[in-house]
Amino acid sequence: MTAVADDHSGADDTNCAATHRHISIESVLVLALALALGAWLRFVHLGAAEIEGDEAVSWQAASAPTVAEVVRLHEKTNPGKLPIYSIILHLWINLFGESEAALRGLSAALGTLAIALVWFAVNETLHAPPMRPGKESFDRIDAPAAASLCALIAAASLVMIRYSREARMYPLMLAMLLAQVGFLMRAARRSGFANYTSAAIFTALAIAANFTALLAIVAEGVWLAWAMVRRGVTESSAALWRLGATLVFGVALLAPFAGAIGQLAGGVRAGVLAWMGPPRLLDPIQTFESTSGGWVFALLALLAVWGCVCNWRERRALVVFALLWMWLPPLLLLPGSYAFFPMNAPRYSLSSFIPFYLLASLAMAAVKDLRARYAFAGVLLILMVARVNNYYSKPRDVQYREAVALAMREAPGDAPVGVASWDESFSSTLYYFASSRRRDLIALPSSGALAPGASRVGVLILPDSMRSSDLARYRELFPHLAGRFRQVEVRSR
């Protein structure tokens, strides 16, 4: 896919392209700011909030003494997901411990790395040749500047920060996907065995981190199919076939692990995703709006629309790629949630925020006056950081740490402590329970028959997010309120 200049290009365009292929001081400074700001927002007060249920599930598998045991526990607690993240977290725990900050430190480090990978992926995407040579201009965009602005937006993005501060596999999935996009676009521009191989390997690693990465891979496949149809049967499409084969090969690398899908189906039947609500028709749009905040979303949306309009004629392939990557994953999640099992749109389509920011950064990079460009970027950055500060200034964690401390004081002698198992409440309680007494913790079902040994439980940890009928039953069995904390009670007989 060799880029061919359009009929109106000349020496000026050649000089412009040559200039934009060099990374300017401006781009380096903006990227450095993005990395510094992003690292601070991801690492600051990392251990302040208590471990949440999902994070406790990650810890439960990764804290096993051996890698083999990590794999076994991962298959039990995370059905349908390959154990790559749990193994990495296991090694991380061996180095840094298992405090709240240490567990989340891996995600924060991956989230910071993802900022640099945003620059890599966007820069390569903007340098990729047009899918229809002779019809679109090439390299009219200051790619490094736009990539730096995109990295800056990602650094201050609430949704990116939020998942970079949770001990879950989603920052790993995002980092692998961004590397995959970068190498795929580099292969489109330069070819080369190393680029194709890297794209295939990162395709497999992204899906291994979380199977929903396949949604972004599908978007890439649709884009290649669109480009192939657009080129016409008379034009060579060998390069497009090579890119498509790279994606297929990357997915095929995971064929030996296809049985994990059966584990996922079994886990769904067992109720591991019962906490998710049913999908709504407006979820794809609200995925971007609710996680960004009203004013931030409005500004980014206006910039993204302007980026589409300004580049539609000359960089149509770029715009179509960004729109497919942005919209196809959350749109596919909607029927998938109805047909198979409920899915969390923001986390499962996390990478789709990057093309949203890419389109917005194109609009800002098109502003030639640097003072105006960075004044606007500064206003957007202030609004985004204010949104992040507002979100984290309100405590949202369940106070299992305080509830466990009280329950252990209230339990007579070595009497077992019960926890009503609801939305990973058992894993969260187990994390804060003294390691020497974890065998004394008994999980009681949220509804139905009580577990054997429940009669010996003298103190109960009760999440108040359970159904009212289940709460009433346990409050009757344990009538004395020993303490009430945020979203959890401690009760005794």
Overall average pLDDT of the 98-117 stretch: 97
Q: Are residues 456 and 367 in the same domain?
A: no
**pLDDT reported for residue 13:** 42
* Overall number of domains in the chain: 2
CA distance 254 to 285: 32
pLDDT of residue 275: 47
Give the span between the Cα atoms of 226 and 131, in whole angstroms.
9
pLDDT higher for 267 or 118?
A: 118
**Which residues, in sequence order, are CB contacts of 257 under 8 Å at separation 6+?**
82, 208
- Asked whether residue 438 falls in the same domain as residue 347, the answer is no
**pLDDT band at residue 1 under the 50/70/90 scheme:** very low
Res. 129 pLDDT band, cuts 50 70 90: confident
Point out the least confidently predicted range of 19-28, 337-346, 349-358, 408-417.
337-346
pLDDT higher than 70, residue 390? yes
Q: Is residue 7 part of a domain?
A: no
**Ranges 186-200, 254-268, 327-341, most confident:** 186-200
At 334 the pLDDT is 73
Q: Distance of CA 430 to CAs 57, 274, 425, Å? A: 10, 21, 8
Enter the tokens of residue 241.
Answer: 């076939």
The pLDDT value recorded for residue 228 is 86
Q: Nearest CA to 260 among 61, 13, 79?
A: 79
pLDDT in tens, 157-198: 999 999 999 999 999 999 999 999 999 999 998 889 999 999
pLDDT band at 138 (very low <50, low <70, confident <90, very high): very low
On whether both 420 and 371 belong to a single domain, the answer is no
pLDDT at 119 over 60: yes
Domain span at residue 469 reads: 400-492
Last residue of a domain, one of 370, 392, 414: 392
Judge if 140 and 232 occupy the same domain: yes
| Chain mean pLDDT for the chain | 84
The confidence score (pLDDT) of residue 142 equals 84
Quote the pLDDT of residue 199. 97
Burial class of 301 by CB neighbour count within 10 A (0 to 12, 13 to 18, 19+): middle
Q: Which of 375, 392, 409 is the last residue of a domain?
A: 392
pLDDT at residue 235 tops 80: no
Measured distance CA(201)–CA(179) in Å, rounded: 10
Pair (211, 287) in one structural domain: yes
pLDDT category at 140 given cuts 50, 70, 90 is low
Half-sphere exposure of residue 358: CA atoms within 13 angstroms, side-chain side: 29
pLDDT at 211 over 60: yes
H or E stretch at 482: strand 480-485
- Determine which helix (DSSP H) or strand (DSSP E) holds 443, and give its type and residue range: strand 441-445
Asked if the model's pLDDT at residue 351 lies above 70, the reply is yes
Q: What was the pLDDT predicted at 344? A: 58
In this structure, are 436 and 378 located in the same domain?
A: no
Q: 23 pLDDT band (50/70/90 cuts)?
A: confident
Contact 329, 214 (CB under 8 A): no
pLDDT score at 265: 53
Give domain status of residue 52, yes or no.
Answer: yes
1 domain residue, yes or no? no
- 384 and 468 in a single domain? The answer is no
Tell me the pairing of strands 488-492 and 480-485.
antiparallel
Are 388 and 295 in the same domain?
A: yes
Can you tell me the distance from the alpha carbon of 369 to that of 433, in angstroms, rounded to the nearest whole number?
58
**124 occurs within a structural domain:** yes
Q: Percent of the chain at pLDDT above 90?
A: 52
CA 408, CA 415: separation in Å to the nearest integer? 9
Segment 248-269 mean pLDDT: 71
Whether residues 131 and 247 share a domain: the answer is yes
Residue 281 has pLDDT above 50, yes or no: yes
In Å, how far from its chain's centre is CA 246?
23
Same domain, 232 and 368: yes
Helix/strand/coil for 10: coil
Q: Answer whether residue 14 is part of any domain.
A: no
Amino acid 82: pLDDT: 87
In a domain, 453, yes or no: yes
Q: What is the pLDDT of residue 19?
A: 40
Q: What is the 3-state secondary structure (H, E, C) of 222-248?
A: HHHHHHHHHHCCCCCCHHHHHHHHHHH
Same domain, 346 and 470: no
pLDDT above 90 for 381: yes
- Lowest-pLDDT choice from 272-286, 296-310, 403-417: 272-286
Q: Is residue 3 part of a domain?
A: no
The verdict on residue 196 lying in a domain is yes
Domain final residue pick, 364, 392, 420: 392
- Confidence check: pLDDT of 2 > 80: no
Q: Does residue 366 share a domain with residue 421?
A: no
